[in-house]
Structure 1
Amino acid sequence: MRFMMIVKASKDSEAGTMPKEQMEQMFAEMKKYNDELKETGVLVAVGGLHPSSNGIRILYPVPGEPPTIEEGPFTEIKELVAGYWFIDVNSREEAIEWAMRAPDPHGLGEGQIELRQVFE
């Protein structure tokens, strides 16, 4: 079963700001976690995303009409994605266990991970 662990954005991730010492610690914790995912064969892919100020949305407001383009930044930070892991596990429970072991993705007590199963 494949799952996407979606790291929700924060004000800091959208602004690209974080104190250097917190960044170094967070990256060290993430590297350790990612290495563990790789070593166990669970990790399919991992990545972080640029802030939504660099993003583009393709909108389909009217059925049958051409889509429109909306340039970032996007305002609803709590709805934005800052990064992700794709994992391949044996059960929903195992996916939850891995998600619970992830370090706080923002390192400030603001982290949030959404876990979604991928259609296969």
Structure 2
Amino acid sequence: MRFMMIVKATTDSEAGVLPSQELIDAMQKYNEELVKAGVLLAADGLHSSASAIRISYPEPGGKPKVVDGPFTEAKEMIAGYTLIEVKSREEAVEWALRMPDPHGYGQGEIELRQVFELEELMGDPESIAREEALRKQIEETRNA
């Protein structure tokens, strides 16, 4: 089971305030623990929404709408994520509870969401096979 720990933005992260060295050290230690346990798939921080672009589809079949950031309401923004693969929801919660306060000032908030597996989204074996082939191609391209 894959889970994404979504780190919510704060007014500081949206203002471009970088984490302290102490927080960076704590996050690196946490990521090392995830790696040792064999559950870490990816982990990254994101730039603030000031440099973001939002694309929406206001009408079915209509033309996409492009809006440049920054966006309001920091608590709805994402500042980073950690993607893990674990055996259960309970294990995912345990790992999320071990993450240091993502912003270091008592403002951190983590949303834990399960990632769909191919079989959950696609019932057609042909669609699953095409998607698996595409993912394999992406991996091969990365490793080339």
Normalization by structure 2: what TM-score?
0.79
Q: Specify the alignment match of 1:73 in structure 2.
A: 70
Shift of 1:99: 0.1
User: What is the one-letter code of the residue matched to 2:15?
Assistant: A
SS at match of 2:3: strand
Gaps of 5+ in 2: 118-144
**Structure 1 consecutive aligned stretches of length 4 or more whose deviation exceeds 3 Å:** none
The structure with higher relative contact order (CA 8 Å, sep 6+) is 1
Q: What RMSD over aligned residues (CA atoms) do the two structures have, in Å?
A: 0.9
Which structure is higher in strand share?
A: 1
Q: Does 2:42 match 1:45?
A: yes
- CA deviations on 1:23-52 (whole Å, 9 max, x unpaired) are 011000000000110111110000000000
| Higher radius of gyration, 1 or 2 | 2
* Correspondences of 1:22-61 after superposition (within 5 Å): 23-61=20-58
SS at match of 2:95: helix
User: What is the one-letter code of the residue matched to 1:63?
Assistant: P
Instruction: Output the CA distance in 2 between the equivalents of 1:57 and 1:85.
Output: 22
Instruction: Output the CA distance in 2 between the equivalents of 1:16 and 1:4.
Output: 23
* Correspondences of 1:1-120 after superposition (within 5 Å): 1-17=1-17, 23-120=20-117
Determine what percentage of the aligned residue pairs are the same residue.
62
Aligned length: 117
Normalization by structure 1: what TM-score?
0.95
SS at match of 1:34: helix
Gaps of 5+ in 1: none
Instruction: Output the CA distance in 1 between the equivalents of 2:116 and 2:26.
Output: 30
